[in-house]
Structure 1
Amino acid sequence: MSDNKAVGGKKRAAVLGSPIAHSLSPVLHRAAYEALGLNEWTYDRFDVDEAALPGFLEKLGPEWRGLSLTMPLKRAVIPLLDEISDSAASVEAVNTVLFEENGRRVGDNTDIPGMLAALRERGVGQVERASILGAGATASSALAALPRICTGEVIAYVRSAARADEMSGWGERLGVTVRTAPWEDAAEALRAPLVIATTPAGTTDALAAAVPEHPGTLFDVLYEPWPTTLATAWAAHGGAVVGGLDLLVHQAVLQVEQMTGRAPAPLGAMRKAGEAALAAR
């Protein structure tokens, strides 16, 4: 996209989802606009569900430049777009919509490259094995990212046979060899050089007692509450921890760059704003 700063008038962006009141995206994007001097840009949040999404999109005017999407809209938006990126198509999930000047709606997924960027920032460039805890949408993004950094086996620890089939299916789609194992064996997951926890709050608490003596890297995608019980135990054993805020900031950095045409986005300012907002909750 062209540098939208050069186009006169107000520019708008927002995050959509339901529920949406908890979203940190406005904090992160507004911090970026302030640091970049983009005084004509605004970023809001709207509670929009799947049924309301088509009507919401139709009402947007030419001042709109982009949307961030959270659940339950990441898949529902796809039929409403003119084009989606290979990254978004690979996991059937769009978290970013860009409005081109000719009116085309283009969907992308910044969760996958954001995950890789968060790991690289903590020095994780390549691992020989990886474990995934969980089998939801974030787990599929992790599975899409792992081929770029994992040279060996990927094991997903899941709660049901249906989830196991789902992860195996994603592996086939993505060209990743993934082995599934029952959740009861999840303590074994912690011995991998990279462990990606994608489960809801509290799910991994019981695993804290099983953290190995010399752990590798834990990527826990939660950011509230933080730190999780598992992340606290991991750090106490000297392991590296990447958190959900790291992922949120890195994927938002990519969104800001795509929506505004300005790069690099101010990672430090965005993270600082996110940390302050979480601390105030």
Structure 2
Amino acid sequence: MINGGTSLLGLLGNPVRHSLSPVMHNAALESMGLNWRYLALPCKTESLDLVLQGLRAVGCQGLNVTIPHKQAIAELCDELSPLARRLGAVNTLVPGVDGGWYGTNTDVEGFLAPLGANEDWAGRDAVVIGCGGSARAVVAGLQSLKLNTITVVGRRSEALQAFNTDLQQDNAPLTACLENAPQLKEAVAQAALVVNTTPVGMAQHGDPKAMPLGAELWSGLSPKAVLYDLIYTPRPTSWLTAGQRRGHRCIDGLEMLVQQGAASLRLWSGRHDVPIEAMRSAAETALAT
């Protein structure tokens, strides 16, 4: 029950109406007995600085950040974790001790969870579609799996080159590939894992039946390739639905959402008893209604 002692958590993004974060986090807060409430807070990029100042001034306990603000908001933090500094992308804000915000990133932890700790990805190839804030966390996670190569696909050459410069590591070389480049078909054919980090196919974001890079390209996939879409509305997306028909193992973004959210809540609350099952159940129930 909301009362005079209730504190605020929230999600900054645009759009955020589709987000399951409020129902998921509020289920966890109730289970933990915390008098906090989590809200979806739509925010335009030009308003970010003002919104952050206002929320800090009213004692907001913490924030998540989603599309399209993960990179822009890093510039507005008073302090960044080493991971967030390396990625140049923030998905979690914690109130700073002396005011302002401490920015970090729990997306890497959330992304890796559904891939399975026991599966060996070493020496295999991956394709990542998109080069925004979420893609930065995905690539950082993939680099810990000792892959052979990671091909990052984007629309603009300048953005791709900047992305690869920021994240290049010797243990998993990054290859930049424009979405209309002829070598893309070969990269897809060799891929053991393809990850979509773009909003293509998301409900309330253009055509929900659209597929990243178009439908034709995916006929060249290896039958053993794993498809991982960070989108979870609709569930499954058209891209994953087509993949399931072809017999691919398909992962949507729900478990990543749950795991990164749990990691954020541990940071905000200072507690380790975050009820992940309650969060997952609440999110799945909301999706089914």
Change (3 A) 1:173 1:153: closer
Q: Does 1:219 align with 2:215?
A: no
- Equivalences for 1:185-264 in 2 at 5 Å? 185-188=183-186, 189-199=188-198, 200-201=200-201, 202-204=210-212, 205-213=215-223, 215-264=224-273
Q: Which position in structure 1 is the counterpart of 2:69?
A: 73
Aligned residues of 1:135 and 1:166 also touching (Cα < 8 A): no
**Residues 91-140 of structure 1 deviation map (CA, whole Å, 9 limit, x = unaligned):** 2111111014543521111112211223236x545332222223333222
Q: By how many angstroms is 1:253 displaced?
A: 1.0
Moved more, 107-116 or 160-169: 160-169
Pick the aligned partner of 2:45 from 47, 50, 63. Answer: 50
1:64 counterpart SS class: coil
2:228 counterpart SS class: strand
Aligned residues of 1:90 and 1:173 also touching (Cα < 8 A): no
* Structure 2: tracts of 5 or more residues without a match: 202-209
CA distance in 1, matches of 2:60, 2:50: 15
Pick the aligned partner of 2:9 from 10, 13, 23. Answer: 13
Change (3 A) 1:174 1:128: closer
Q: Which position in structure 2 is the counterpart of 1:141?
A: 137
Aligned residues: 270
- Equivalences for 1:53-202 in 2 at 5 Å? 53-60=48-55, 61=57, 63-120=59-116, 123-124=118-119, 126-129=121-124, 130-172=126-168, 176-183=172-179, 184-188=182-186, 189-199=188-198, 200-201=200-201, 202=210
Change (3 A) 1:224 1:43: same
Q: By how many angstroms is 1:30 displaced?
A: 0.6
The CA RMSD measured in Å over matched residues stands at 2.7
1:31 counterpart SS class: helix
Q: By how many angstroms is 1:190 displaced?
A: 4.8
Aligned residues of 2:189 and 2:222 also touching (Cα < 8 A): yes
Q: By how many angstroms is 1:20 displaced?
A: 2.2
Moved more, 196-205 or 161-170: 161-170
CA distance in 2, matches of 1:58, 1:180: 37
Aligned residues of 2:191 and 2:222 also touching (Cα < 8 A): no
Q: By how many angstroms is 1:235 displaced?
A: 3.2
Aligned residues of 2:87 and 2:167 also touching (Cα < 8 A): no
Q: What percent identity do the matched residue pairs reach?
A: 32
Q: Which position in structure 2 is the counterpart of 1:3?
A: none
2:12 aligned partner, one-letter code: L
2:87 aligned partner, one-letter code: V
